[in-house]
Structure 1
């Protein structure tokens, strides 16, 4: 049996601000934005090339906005990824190289609520 992670709920305070951040600044694709009822809104977005999406909205998680930390995005070129984020207006850290081996370079950024993301370089990936 295969087990696939397909959706990660991300707690945010302002859904429209977060939707704009993830689609316009980070570059995620908007899959859908639906009000299921008066107290349930689901906005699903997917990083380009990813099999896993994130969901923000109203009534989908009870965790405090900004409490999700350590989400990882994986890229094949950390310098290009950082440049793309900077060009779109994302505050992103300098590249930190932990080793010369594959997977040893990272940058970090946070969404408007403080949910923390790491971008990890794995050469030859995707």
Structure 2
């Protein structure tokens, strides 16, 4: 089993558990250059808030260095801020099968500090 298949298998297992909980989910996706975050409704069809390192305000805050932990922390702050404005305070953290360290952990910690509970 290759690396991508293993990640997708972990993601499927995690999403089935989140679906049983019936709460909004904070989904994270990362590439080598960028990191993306969305807060999805319980049905998974409606995006309530989103943030990414591709957005101009986030890019300028991290001086166009988008593939590092500082950029992930900035995205975590932005997504928490937008989610709270949308009326969401409790979410389940869906890391999309990525291991919980580095940029994924930095995003989660920043979102928690900014007021999201998961």
Give the TM-score, by structure 1 length.
Answer: 0.27
Higher relative contact order (CA 8 A, sep 6+): 2
Greater fraction helix: 2
| Higher Rg of the two aligned structures | 1
Give the TM-score, by structure 2 length.
Answer: 0.29
Greater fraction strand: 1
